[in-house]
Amino acid sequence: MKKPRIVAVDDEPDFVATLKEYFELRGYEINVASKAVDGIALINEKKPDIAILDLKMPGISGDEVMTLVKSKHPDTKVIFVTAFDDGGKTRKRLLDAGAHAYLDKPLPSLKDLEEIVKKACS
Ligand SMILES: [Mg+2]
């Protein structure tokens, strides 16, 4: 099976660098951005199977990025990875709006994220 293509967008450069290294080492095509505008451009260009999004980013929120992804690339699955916690309200709202998953940061392990990525596209 072909490995899912990924775009990851998070305003923490270290976090996206870690994701890039982890997934590239395992044979995935992954492109990353630490600015939402760059992430949107990447998603439009790459049309990835998976978009891994932060929620809180300066300028454009992950929320808005998902709205855009869903309208232009309905097949791209959105996985949020965020430290934002308001007791599950936002989690529920985004999952209801079509997010594939909503994971809490820090992630216990990238292996868990990889499993979700794999299952999302199988
Ligand atoms: Mg952030």
The predicted model gives 47-52 an average pLDDT of 98
Q: Give pLDDT tens digits for 75-117.
A: 999 999 999 999 999 999 999 999 999 999 999 999 999 999 9
Question: What is the predicted pLDDT for the residue at 2?
Answer: 84
Beta-carbon contacts of 45 under 8 Å, excluding residues fewer than 6 positions away, are none
CA 15 to chain centre: 12
Average pLDDT of the chain to the nearest whole number: 96
Q: How far is the CA of 2 from the centre of ligand 1 (A)?
A: 30
pLDDT band, residue 122 (cuts 50/70/90): confident
Domain topology for 6-120: Rossmann fold (3.40.50)
pTM over 0.75: yes
Long-range pairs of 83-92 with CB within 8 A, sequence gap ≥ 24: 83/56, 84/55, 84/56, 90/55
Asked if 36 and 56 count as a contact pair (C-beta separation under 8 A), the reply is: no
Compute CA distances 91 → 5, 24, 36, 72, whole Å: 24, 28, 20, 22
User: Which residues lie near ion ligand 1 (Cβ < 5 Å)?
Assistant: 11, 54, 56
